[in-house]
Chains A and B, each alone.
Chain A
Amino acid sequence: KQEVTQIPAALSVPEGENLVLNCSFTDSAIYNLQWFRQDPGKGLTSLLLIQSSQREQTSGRLNASLDKSSGRSTLYIAASQPGDSATYLCAALRGSARQLTFGSGTQLTVLP
């Protein structure tokens, strides 16, 4: 059974810092890995999706990498802003059932 872990559980940084969020998964036979953002009391916003054949994806200040062999993915946020404050979730897709397994999330606070 796939298990997804995110470290750290919470992170507080001053505005402007670059930061890295970590995600690890136990079963490397994934179809893809996805990073989401969740604001308090809200649904999920998809940030980046990395196919199993890819190593990284970039969107604006966000860069996500994937290393299937080590079972790890990272989300890099450059020049953080207070508006980046949210919970970030990673999720691994099991191809056959198209089911996502979510990590427990990293709660990010960017201080102005």
Chain B
Amino acid sequence: GAVVSQHPSRVICKSGTSVKIECRSLDFQATTMFWYRQFPKQSLMLMATSNEGSKATYEQGVEKDKFLINHASLTLSTLTVTSAHPEDSSFYICSADDRHSNQPQHFGDGTRLSIL
């Protein structure tokens, strides 16, 4: 089945650091990838839709200058949390849209981000 690799799985860093999270579709091409954020005991909230070769579409309330998204190839999207602060600590999950599959999105295993 389709596989999405998300890296790193866990990051702990100091406040003010920028952190990059990678999302790769390993055996299919994804023109669209999605980035979600999940706080403890809450559901997944869509942050942005990443489109290959064009600018990402951000959901209302998500700062595009804070959460930089790059989707330069059909198999890789990156999310960079710039100048991270403790309130950015969360679980970030990506998914990739496989238009040739009945299942609309394949999910990565998530990245636990902890800002000290």
Contact = CB atoms under 8 A, between A and B. Distances in A.
Contacts of B43: 89, 102-105
User: Chain A binding site: helix, strand, loop or mixed by DSSP?
Assistant: strand
Interface in A80-104: 89, 93, 97-104
Interface stretch (A14-22, A38-46, A58-66): A38-46
B30 to A, nearest CB: 11
B67 interface: no
A101 B104 CA distance: 12
A49 interface: yes
Contacts of B110: 41-43
Interface string B16-45: 000000000000000010100000011111
16 contacts: A32-B104, A42-B109, A43-B93, A43-B107, A43-B109, A44-B93, A49-B103, A89-B44, A97-B49, A98-B105, A99-B34, A99-B49, A100-B95, A100-B104, A102-B44, A103-B43
A100 B109 CA distance: 17
Nearest to B111: A43
Nearest to B45: A102
B104 A43 contact: no
User: Chain B binding site: helix, strand, loop or mixed by DSSP?
Assistant: strand
Given A51-B102, A101-B46, 12 more contacts: A41-B110, A41-B112, A43-B108, A49-B102, A89-B44, A93-B104, A98-B32, A98-B97, A98-B104, A99-B46, A100-B95, A100-B105
Interface string B54-92: 000000000000000000000000000000000000010
Q: Which of B42, B44, B46, B110 has the most CB of A within 10 A?
A: B44
Contacts of B42: 104
Nearest to B106: A46
Q: Which of A49, A102, A107 has the most CB of B within 10 A?
A: A102
Contacts of A107: 41
A41 B105 CA distance: 19
B50 interface: no
